């Protein structure tokens, strides 16, 4: 049984095209649901209404959402990204400020590597270690 011969090449292309559109539509639907539930300006009943609309009439719901709230989707995503970036930078600043002991441990590890490699003597290592631990 040769099934490939029964399905013309143009039909294969059309099948792939419709399958990709179907995948694209699902991605758009999930993107809209994520945007909807991350938006703090929309309250509970409105979110529930949009969700029901998107589930019961999915194609129409996606298009209506994009028309009604599509412009703000990019702005809300940009705002979330900027807030996330600010929180990350604040965390890095906090971590860098409170890592005095970690910096000392790193410097001691580097000194140990220098001594093991033979770049500094045991006396130089002991002096540098004492200086690091005293400061």
Q: What is the pLDDT of residues 55-94, one digit of tens each?
A: 999 889 999 999 998 888 989 999 999 999 999 988 887 7
Same domain, 115 and 86: no
Same domain, 62 and 18: yes
Same domain, 10 and 39: yes
Dist. CA 119–CA 129, nearest whole Å: 15
Confidence at residue 30, expressed as pLDDT on a 0 to 100 scale? 93
> Tokens 């979110």 label which residue?
47
Burial status of residue 110 (CB atoms within 10 A of its CB: 0-12, 13-18, 19 or more): exposed
Same domain, 60 and 9: yes
**Reported pTM:** 0.58
**Residues contacting 70, CB < 8 A, separation 6+:** none
Same domain, 19 and 33: yes
> Structural domain tally of the chain?
2
Q: Are 84 and 66 in contact (CB under 8 A)?
A: no
Dist. CA 89–CA 34, nearest whole Å: 25
Same domain, 15 and 48: yes
Same domain, 23 and 44: yes
Same domain, 92 and 106: no
Confidence at residue 47, expressed as pLDDT on a 0 to 100 scale? 92
Domain of residue 76: give its range.
Answer: 4-98
Structure tokens at 6: 């029964």
Check whether 5 has a pLDDT greater than 80.
Answer: no
Same domain, 15 and 39: yes
Same domain, 64 and 127: no
């Amino acid at each position: 049984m040769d099934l490939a011969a029964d399905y013309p090449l143009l039909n294969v292309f059309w099948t792939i095209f419709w399958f990709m559109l179907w995948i694209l539509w699902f991605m758009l639907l999930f993107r809209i649901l994520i945007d909807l539930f991350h938006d703090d300006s929309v309250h509970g009943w409105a979110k529930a209404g949009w969700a029901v609309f998107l589930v019961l009439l999915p194609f129409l719901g996606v298009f209506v959402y994009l028309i009604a709230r599509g412009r703000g989707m990019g702005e809300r995503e940009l705002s979330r990204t900027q807030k996330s970036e600010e929180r990350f930078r604040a965390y890095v600043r906090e971590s860098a400020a409170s890592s005095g002991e970690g910096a000392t441990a790193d410097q001691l590890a580097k000194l140990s590597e220098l001594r093991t490699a033979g770049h500094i003597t045991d006396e130089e290592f002991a002096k540098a270690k004492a200086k690091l631990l005293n400061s």
